[in-house]
Amino acid sequence: MRKILFFVALASVFFAGILGASERPVFNVISVNGAITPPVAEYILQNIKEAEREKVSGLIILLDTPGGLDASMRDIAKGILNAPLPVVVYVHPAGARAASAGVIITIAAHVAAMTPGTNIGAAHPVALGFGGGGDKTMKQKLENDAAAYVRGIAKKRHRSEEWVERAVRTSESITAEEAQKKGVVDFVAVDLPDLLKKMDGMKVVVGETKHVIKTTDALIQEKKMGARQRILSVISDPNIAYILLLLGLAGLYFEFSHPGIILPGVVGAISLILAFFALQTLPLNYAGILLILLAIALFIAEMKVISHGILTVGGVVSLAIGSLILFDSPDPALRVSLDVMIPFLLVITLFFVGVIVLVVKAQVRKKQTGKEGMIGLKGVVMDDFAREGKVFVHGEYWNATSAKPLKKGAHVRVVGIDGLKLRVEEVSPEQE
């Protein structure tokens, strides 16, 4: 009997441990570090769905962004607002920021938190990816639209509507501590364990249902980007897209100017396809693309037309201007960095100029084969002849004609070709 009671007690402890472990809250954690682009939006929305399937207690987004595309930001905000589980946006680590599009994503979260040493703000609609063009009326419309949009989200999440409107209209930016005081975020947490501790017991509304967040003894599951999303995210960077575009054009240019090498053409074609994918996710200025293509056309024309360098200079200027205006956004996160642009422009320009020089040299160089290659070659007369006879030129015997009689052993030079006969003239010892 005692043995039976012992095994019953042991089994009770075992199953209690299993049940206790299964009741531990689980939070998935993802990291967003960089501009808000379509691949990033896909990554966040995919993880919201995955968290729902896994029935975890919530999704934590570690955010550090300078901003990004308005369309991608709205997709993310919509996904968070309609998420079937609590979504936490945590501006982390120290030195991180939630600027521009990051403001709206943070405000949309069920729980918003920041690390000491971080900042949030500067959400003027120009920086949200609307572009800097347009008249004053259009800019006002965009500003009013963005202000109404962010106020609506802030109201739903019971956050400071006044501050978020100032962030849109006057690009105001504040520290983590100021954000907590102004009611922009819920609290400041020094790290992830501190975040979980402060969230414990918080009441949030998920959909239409009130939900209490429990974090005691919580398990953390880090969800990293898949290989496909990482690749798409990398090439969606304006600097990478710009480099791929120029590499693609340079590779095809080299292949067409030197047919048969193959490798530059293959690399160029792959780079161009990747560049075109990246460009469709960015605020592209088509005038910039046209100027870059014009530069390539001018470089090609330089090889066909003698312009004394004018076409090359025009190509360099066109390439530089096209690079500067390639992306239509004043947001630094969506423009090519000058630290990348200037060195790469110099390298690409030197490449094109170098190819042009090689092609021009090949065009003006004396031909070494065929009829033209025979002109100027020297040989020896094999027999005396008055008008026609045999000469030995370039390792071969040729029938030749001469305006003057020639003696056997005389040295001659080819001055022309008539069919299969060489026209030669005697060369004096001084001309040898």
What is the mean pLDDT, run by run of 10 residues, along the chain of 432 residues? 47 44 84 91 95 96 92 94 97 95 96 97 63 63 90 95 94 95 96 96 92 94 88 86 90 80 89 88 85 88 77 88 83 79 87 76 57 77 87 86 87 84 80 55
Pair 299, 412 in one domain: no
Residue 310 lies in a domain: yes
Do 119 and 174 contact (CB within 8 A), yes or no? yes
Buried b (16+ CB within 10 A) or exposed e, 269-286: eebbebbeebbebbbbbe
Residue 303 lies in a domain: yes
Residue 13 lies in a domain: no
Catalytic residue, chosen from 141, 182, 214, 223, is 141
Pair 215, 243 in one domain: no
- Identify the domain boundary among 323, 348, 364: 364
Pair 200, 275 in one domain: no
Residue 11 lies in a domain: no
Q: What is the pLDDT of residue 364?
A: 59
173-175 and 119-121 as β-strands: parallel, antiparallel, unpaired? Answer: antiparallel
Pair 55, 175 in one domain: yes
Structural domain total, the chain = 3
Which structural domain range is residue 94 located in? 20-226
141 catalytically annotated: yes
State the CATH number of the domain containing residue 193.
Answer: 3.90.226.10
Pair 219, 76 in one domain: yes
Q: Which of 403, 416, 425 is nearest to 371 (CA)?
A: 416
Pair 28, 144 in one domain: yes
How far apart are the C-alpha atoms of 340 and 244, rounded to whole Å? 12
How far apart are the C-alpha atoms of 229 and 258, rounded to whole Å? 36
- Identify the domain boundary among 226, 252, 284: 226
Q: What is the pLDDT of residue 360?
A: 67
How far apart are the C-alpha atoms of 7 and 61, rounded to whole Å? 45
Q: Give pTM, 2 decimals.
A: 0.70
State the CATH number of the domain containing residue 410.
Answer: 2.40.50.140
- Identify the domain boundary among 317, 336, 364: 364
Residue 301 lies in a domain: yes
Residue 45 lies in a domain: yes
Pair 71, 196 in one domain: yes
Residue 15 lies in a domain: no
Catalytic residue, chosen from 57, 72, 100, 160, is 100
Q: What is the pLDDT of residue 365?
A: 57
271 catalytically annotated: no
Q: At what angle do helices 238-257 and 286-304 cross, to 10 degrees?
A: 20
Pair 323, 287 in one domain: yes
Q: Which of 227, 195, 226, 174 is nearest to 60 (CA)?
A: 195
Q: What is the pLDDT of residue 371?
A: 61
Pair 244, 184 in one domain: no
Pair 376, 352 in one domain: no
Residue 342 lies in a domain: yes
Residue ranges of the alpha helices (H) in 325-337? none
Pair 40, 162 in one domain: yes
CA separation, residue 401 to residues 288, 371, 383, 404, 405 (Å): 62, 16, 12, 9, 9
Q: What is the pLDDT of residue 21?
A: 44
Total residue length of the chain: 432
Q: What is the pLDDT of residue 362?
A: 63
Distance of CA 417 to the CA centre of its chain: 58
Pair 392, 336 in one domain: no
Beta carbons within 10 angstroms of residue 313's beta carbon: 13
Do 367 and 373 contact (CB within 8 A), yes or no? yes
